[in-house]
Amino acid sequence: MAGRLVLAVALAAALSLPGPSGAQAAPPSAAASSAQCPQPAADAAPIDRVSGADRYATAACASRAAFPTTTGGTALLASGDGDGGWADALAGTVLATALDAPVLLTPSQALSPATAAELVRLRPRRVILLGGQLAIGPAVARAVRAAVAGVVVERVAGSDRYATAAAVSARVGGGATAFVVNGFRPADALVAGAPAARRGARLLLTAPDGLPAPTRAALAGVTEIVIVGGYATVDEAVERELADLVGAGHLRRVSGGNRFATAASVARAFPAPGRILLAGGADASLVDAIGAAWSAARPAGGVVLYSGADSPSSGTDRYLRLGGLAGARPMRLFGGPAVLSPALVSALEARYVEAAAGGPPPVLLGLWAHLFSPALKSGPGIDTMLDAAAAGGLNTVVVQVARRQDAYYSSTVLPRTPDPDMPVDLDLLARLVPAAHDRGLAVHAWVPALPAHHGVYAGLRLPLWDAHGAGSADPWVSVDHAGAQGTFLDPGVPAVRDHVAAVFGELAGRYDVDAVHLDYLRYESRQWGYHPASLARFRAAHGLSSTYRPAPDDPRWGAWRRQMTTEVATAVRDAVRAADPGVAVTIAASTMGAPPRSAADLAGTRTWDDVFQPWPQWLTAGIVDAAMPMNYFRDNTHAAWFDGWVAFEETLERSCEAQRPPCVVAVGQAAYLNELPASVAQLRQALSSVDGAVVFSYQQDSISSPTGGLLGSLAGRLGVDPAPAPALR
């Protein structure tokens, strides 16, 4: 008893903190930190809460939750002052993990009573101060020594926040990986800390538009870099500097449209079992996430997310609803009811109920994004598109990766695109696929299968066109009834079939795509298909003379051309299955002109008799796993055509339900042809009839477009978002 009294008197003298009315504050003690922590936060869900009377007490509560008994080891102490004063705490997670220590907070010039009490309870042998004397002054160091008899007080500091983070990494030892974040945007650093710590990586800070010298020096020996945060926080100039150090192929950026979405992206990119640790996302409450950051790196930790005060943000809710709560995963809130309110807890309980019932029903909500604009030809452009898709509640992006037999990715089958707007060192799929998956988006790699030339290539070399285009020594292009050569490859030519299959097989085998997407696997019209090789095969199959030339509307010739497109589709399916059985085959399906007169088949439609694409047969036969019929009709002139095609597709979708896994029909909707209310109405009609809807296109739906604005207004308007995409394989 006498020993505790002497310790309390000494601690009170060292703290010299004013009380509420200017009197000396009551001395802290171990008993002061004995309140239950964490506290239950929900009645019907595994949610608890770490909180205290202020940020210092909340940090102490996080320590008690992680270290319920005396450690006798190390504790880290960082400034918890506002206005960015706690920057030195950002890199503390990696050191806390390495030393099995908590991170406590204090005002810069006086030890917090809550922190002092927690130090008394922990009785560490060593306390490491993070930051220089402006961050944590000498008075705090003296108070720590007074609070814990015999404690060794050390300091890890640099000349600024960048140098301090570098010094922390040096203290840890640092591995070959570094996580780099904006030193003035703590939200990104706090979610990067746990994955960096779990990997034994360095956590370093940068300025938004240039790499500070201490950070550059601390990257010596690093062979892999992860940037956490969007281009507004770490710009292209810094990205280029970092790529120069390790190579573009060893640099990854994990981000989202805002801090909430970025946190969810980090959670997907670097998954960890254990709790979901939820902190307030407002600037004033981010300091509580310090406790979440280092707690997440512990064995029972998990991932860090941000929330609004009364409801999850869209990014967090998207994470929770797209499988984040599987297995009734527990959740821990960091911050009191003023930061994370009872209303939020009720909303989270509802998400647990939904997850226990199997989660939201799957529906394919997609977006086509093409290459006839600059949107996909830079890192910022790719991320902007993905952020728009995620913010709109979508779960799938169908991304064009070749225009006219030219690859915007690394390929040994197709030549590299000559597009002057595409950076030579940018691999579209390598950059896009992980970024899309981080956002909860499936990726379908879209290739126009047969078109081989376009006016945009005037003056540019297209190697495949030079070798096999019109006028070449070995033409693969289709020929019309009059004998003129066109710009589509002819599906009746065996070399074309093998080439197209190789294109899609390589995509499935080389990249972590969810599906490959067939487009333009059809004839231009009934006038086409008269390539000599195809004609010879047709004549041989039907026992016809070598001079027989079928009329464009010859039924046998029409059936032959449907057989040829089917052969190519089947070859694609087989090549993709051989490369990766888990990759699906999807198709942009033709719905030209008036809809079928019967629900039985396509006979009599242009799709059947003019372009010879029997895609419903491909779907029900398992040649393709999902069809996205292009119902591109203006609501004010062709509403009946849209309705008729949807009715046909609904019948087809019902026949798909018998397959395992069921084939999927998702209506393609032309936002570029319709005003926003009509687009929303068409999408709702599609979603009430089939398995999903896909918008064409990202570029034609920009704010500057006469019909644009759809993506920015979709969230919450369709009644199905966010929802998981259906399993296609």
Taking the C-alpha atoms of residue 676 and residue 682, their distance in angstroms, rounded to an integer, is: 10
**Angle at alpha carbon of residue 597, lines to 591 and 602, rounded to 5°:** 45
Among 187-196, 623-632, 647-656, the range scoring the smallest mean pLDDT is 647-656
- Tell me which of 669 and 21 has the higher pLDDT: 669
**Residue whose C-alpha is closest to residue 103's, from 290, 332, 306, 275:** 290
Given the structure tokens 């030209």, which residue do they identify? 592
- pLDDT band, very low/low/confident/very high, at 23 (cuts 50, 70, 90): very low
Calculate what percentage of the chain has a pLDDT beyond 90.
85
Given the structure tokens 């960890």, which residue do they identify? 272
DSSP string, 238-299: HHHHHHHHH-GGGEEEE--SSHHHHHHHHHHHS--SSEEEEEE-SGGGGGGHHHHHHHHTST
CB 103 within 8 Å of CB 96:
yes
Q: What is the pLDDT of residue 706?
A: 58
* Sign of the CA dihedral with 695 first, then 698, 701, and 703 last: positive
**75: pLDDT strictly greater than 80:** yes
Mean pLDDT of all residues in 380-405: 97
Model confidence over 505-536: pLDDT tens digits?
A: 999 999 999 999 999 999 999 999 999 999 99
Strand 477-479 relative to strand 47-50, pairing: unpaired
Longest dimension (CA), the chain: 115
Q: How far is CA 501 from CA 447, 520, 521, 573, 660, in A?
A: 11, 14, 12, 8, 24
Q: What is the pLDDT of residue 713?
A: 85
**22: pLDDT strictly greater than 80:** no
Q: In a 3-state reduction of DSSP, which class is residue 690? A: coil
- Tell me which of 652 and 19 has the higher pLDDT: 652
* Alpha helices by DSSP H, 150-204: 161-172, 186-198
CB 75 within 8 Å of CB 124:
yes
- pLDDT band, very low/low/confident/very high, at 598 (cuts 50, 70, 90): confident
Taking the C-alpha atoms of residue 223 and residue 204, their distance in angstroms, rounded to an integer, is: 14
Taking the C-alpha atoms of residue 536 and residue 530, their distance in angstroms, rounded to an integer, is: 10
**164: pLDDT strictly greater than 70:** yes
Q: What is the pLDDT of residue 46?
A: 97
**31: pLDDT strictly greater than 80:** no
Q: Residue 140: in which H helix or E strand, if any?
A: helix 138-147
Model confidence over 352-392: pLDDT tens digits?
A: 999 999 999 999 999 999 999 999 999 999 999 999 999 99
**117: pLDDT strictly greater than 80:** yes
CB 221 within 8 Å of CB 272:
no
Taking the C-alpha atoms of residue 395 and residue 391, their distance in angstroms, rounded to an integer, is: 10
CB 488 within 8 Å of CB 480:
no
Q: What is the pLDDT of residue 707?
A: 58
**10: pLDDT strictly greater than 70:** no
Q: What is the pLDDT of residue 654?
A: 86
Question: Helix 428-438 and helix 379-391: axis angle, to 10°?
Answer: 30
Taking the C-alpha atoms of residue 624 and residue 516, their distance in angstroms, rounded to an integer, is: 10
CB 450 within 8 Å of CB 561:
no
Q: What is the pLDDT of residue 703?
A: 53
Cβ neighbours of residue 540 closer than 8 Å, sequence gap 6 or more: none
Taking the C-alpha atoms of residue 540 and residue 559, their distance in angstroms, rounded to an integer, is: 15
Given the structure tokens 């969230």, which residue do they identify? 715
CB 307 within 8 Å of CB 344:
yes
**585: pLDDT strictly greater than 90:** yes
**34: pLDDT strictly greater than 70:** no
Task: Give the chain's length.
Answer: 729
Q: What is the pLDDT of residue 85?
A: 66
Model confidence over 425-437: pLDDT tens digits?
A: 999 999 999 999 9
Q: Is the pTM higher than 0.75?
A: yes
DSSP string, 338-400: TTS-HHHHHHHHHHHHHHHTT-SPP-EEEEEE-SSSGGGSSHHHHHHHHHHHHHTT--EEEEE
Strand 477-479 relative to strand 224-228, pairing: unpaired
- Tell me which of 71 and 134 has the higher pLDDT: 134
Mean pLDDT of all residues in 67-81: 90
- pLDDT band, very low/low/confident/very high, at 702 (cuts 50, 70, 90): low
Mean pLDDT of all residues in 686-704: 88
- Give the count of beta carbons closer than 10 Å to the beta carbon of residue 75: 26
Q: How far is CA 635 from CA 507, 596, 632, 673, 709, in A?
A: 36, 18, 9, 8, 17
For 80-162, where are the E strands, in sequence order?
103-106, 126-130, 152-156
Q: What is the pLDDT of residue 27?
A: 41
Q: Residue 205: in which H helix or E strand, if any?
A: strand 202-206
DSSP string, 502-565: HHHHHHHHHS--SEEEEE--S-SSTTB---HHHHHHHHHHHT--TT----TT-HHHHHHHHHHH
Taking the C-alpha atoms of residue 276 and residue 279, their distance in angstroms, rounded to an integer, is: 10
What is the chain's Cα-based Rg?
31
Model confidence over 290-340: pLDDT tens digits?
A: 999 999 999 888 999 999 999 999 999 999 999 999 989 999 999 999 999
Three-class SS of 599-649 = CCCCCCCHHHHCCCCCHHHHHHCCCCCEEEEEECCCHHHHHHHHHHHHHHH
Taking the C-alpha atoms of residue 604 and residue 610, their distance in angstroms, rounded to an integer, is: 9
* Sign of the CA dihedral with 247 first, then 252, 258, and 260 last: negative
Domains of the chain (ranges, CATH numbers): 2-18+31-356 (no CATH), 364-449+495-524+584-714 (3.20.20.80)
Given the structure tokens 């992006």, which residue do they identify? 397
Model confidence over 81-116: pLDDT tens digits?
A: 865 568 889 889 999 999 999 999 999 999 999 999
**16: pLDDT strictly greater than 50:** no
List, in sequence order, every residue forming a beta bridge with 180; answer none if it has no partner.
Answer: 204, 227
Calculate what percentage of the chain has a pLDDT beyond 70.
94
- Give the count of beta carbons closer than 10 Å to the beta carbon of residue 159: 10
Cβ neighbours of residue 319 closer than 8 Å, sequence gap 6 or more: 264, 267, 268, 305, 440
Task: Retrieve residue 581's tokens.
Answer: 């059985």
CB 418 within 8 Å of CB 366:
no
Three-class SS of 387-414 = HHHHHCCCCEEEEECECCCCECCCCCCC
**Residue whose C-alpha is closest to residue 205's, from 80, 82, 86, 77:** 86
Task: Retrieve residue 354's tokens.
Answer: 């939904």
Taking the C-alpha atoms of residue 707 and residue 697, their distance in angstroms, rounded to an integer, is: 11
**Angle at alpha carbon of residue 438, lines to 434 and 439, rounded to 5°:** 125
- pLDDT band, very low/low/confident/very high, at 489 (cuts 50, 70, 90): very high
Mean pLDDT of all residues in 63-91: 86
CB 183 within 8 Å of CB 90:
yes
Cβ neighbours of residue 114 closer than 8 Å, sequence gap 6 or more: 28, 32, 33, 52, 53, 54, 56, 57, 59, 60
